[in-house]
Amino acid sequence: MSSIADGQLVLIVEDNAKNLKLARDLLQYHGFRTLEAADAETGVELASSSTPDVILMDIELPGIDGVTALERLRANPATADMTVVAVTASVMPVDQERFAHAGFAGVIVKPIDVKAFPGQVLAYCRRSEDRS
């Protein structure tokens, strides 16, 4: 199996270089285009300048965290409706609830499942297409 995607653009916000490379390599291999940011401020800027189909947002980031970054995206009309998915190692119910309440479209748990990941991301892209 290789390409499942059709050039959908995914913005990956992730401060861990290894995690970032894994996500990028998997997505590119499966036919996505990617943009990358190692911190939330850069991610928020890239989101408004390049309108990705989906944003994969790490939660623990240097500077502002992923939840605050989502608030900033929601506050800007250019990015308010974007599909933003939390990518986190936390599976604690209290955190899951916090992410849902913050307005994330969903959660992908780290470490990512390399087999499932491209399909998970594509499903979020499709959701985002359905809304537009």
Site track 19-48 with Mn ion (rule: CB under 5 A), x = hit: ------------------------------
Which residues, numbered 64-123, are part of the site for Mn ion (CB under 5 A)? none
Query: By CB under 5 A, is residue 58 in contact with Mn ion?
Result: yes
Query: By CB under 5 A, is residue 60 in contact with Mn ion?
Result: yes
Q: Sheet harboring 9-13: ordered strands across?
A: 33-37, 9-13, 54-58, 83-88, 106-109
The H or E element that residue 13 is part of is strand 9-13
Only one of the segments 2-10, 11-19, 83-91, 120-128 lies at the binding site for Mn ion (rule: CB under 5 A); that segment is 11-19
